[in-house]
Amino acid sequence: MDNIEKNPSPQQTSGTTVTAFVLGILSILVPYVGFVLGIIAIILGKKALNRIKQTGEPGHGLALAGFICGIVGTALYALIIGFFVVAFIFFEMSTSDLEEVSIVTNLLVAV
């Protein structure tokens, strides 16, 4: 029994790394909440990358993927939100212009 070598157990990936990865993927897939999930994934991914750089623990690929997916998800939903804000502004401007035109038309018809 003394001749049996004991294999050291491999280091486990940290919970922060896995959480950053999962939230990064969800930030792309989950509508409406993806913006917030992306921001959290960016923060956790950066934190995990810094810790991996210092300690050498495994999970660099997962942390990097979570960080990048968080950026993509945040940018994607920022563009979508920006599009709807601009569309709403233009819709409001066109609606108010139509009301002014109808008021002027009614005044001209009345004269």
DSSP assignment of 60-76, as one string? Answer: HHHHHHHHHHHHHHHHH
**Which amino acid does the sequence have at 64?**
L
Return the pLDDT at 14.
85
Q: What do you get for the CA distance between the two ends of the chain, in Å?
A: 110
From the list 76, 75, 53, the residue with the least C-alpha distance to 64 is 53
- Model pLDDT for residues 2-58, shown as the tens digit of each residue: 555 566 667 788 889 999 999 999 999 998 898 999 999 999 999 999 999 998 889
Return the pLDDT at 106.
62
**Is it the case that residue 97 has pLDDT exceeding 80?**
no
| Rounded Cα distance, 24 and 55, in Å | 23
Q: Give the model's confidence band at 89: pLDDT under 50 very low, under 70 low, under 90 confident, else very high.
A: confident
| Residues 16, 46 contacting (CB under 8 angstroms) | no
The pTM of the full predicted model, rounded to 2 decimals, is 0.72
